[in-house]
Copies of this chain bind each other. A is one copy, B any other.
Amino acid sequence: MVSKALGKYVQSLHQKKYRQRHGAFLVEGGKSVLELLSSDLETEHVLVTAEFASTHHKHLPDGLPLAIATEYELTQLGTLATNTTALAVARLPAEKPLPPTLPEAGLLLALDEVRDPGNLGTLLRLADWYGLPGVVLSPGCADPYSPKTVAATMGAFARVQVWERDLAEWLPTLPVGMGIFGADLEGDNVHHLKLRPAGVLVMGSESHGLTPSVEACLTRRLHIPRGAKGGAESLNVAISAAILLDNFFRNQ
């Protein structure tokens, strides 16, 4: 049974303004909740079905603020079409400092106005796959802690560092000589380069590409070759990022 106050609190976290006010966000579904519990993030509340509690009791430590809920309650309180397992409230993590000596710190991903939460989540999952030191988001990006983004990360939300920065202000502060890469149909063919995973890879929004002030900061433009018989004009932003990252990491 979930108290009325807790239910109201959980539902408020569907909205960004309440996530910011309370410094907390929702994690939905059994797999994501287990990822949360095995991470460094702080957990405020866990709501689980009796069945989930009995199957996963080893992962539900003593002292955890745990409530047993029905599938109906979980579905009512959350944003998923159905939730038959678990839901949690986690604290928004405190921002860690951006790696100061970036060239040694590996490759950062920077996203310029990526507004679709599904794309953002897929990109965070990709950053997790490659173990990137983190992802820098322009203020116009989707909220990395919205329920849709969190779901699309498939657990990566619990591991990937994110920072919000005005990219056109931040990129020029980086050490001279550091590679700032971006995708561009007129850029250099990535198959002919020997890229190493160091610097910053900047990806723009689907509809508008990079904003001009951000594009002006690039030191190298990269082009993903299309098939000889290819028809599509462009690729999805997460798809492009994946192909570019594989080209960076094949020489690590």
Contact = CB atoms under 8 A, between A and B. Distances in A.
Contact of A125 (B125, B132, B229, B235): B235
B159 A126 contact: no
A224 B249 CA distance: 11
Interface string A107-148: 000000000001000100110111110000000000000000
Contacts of A122: 236, 239
A238 interface: yes
Among A128, A159, A236, A247, which residue has the most Cβ atoms of chain B within 10 A? A236
Contacts of A159: 231-232
A227 B239 contact: no
A197 to B, nearest CB: 8
A236 to B, nearest CB: 5
Contacts of A226: 129-131
Given A155-B232, A227-B249, A238-B238, 6 more contacts: A129-B226, A129-B232, A131-B227, A224-B246, A225-B249, A243-B243
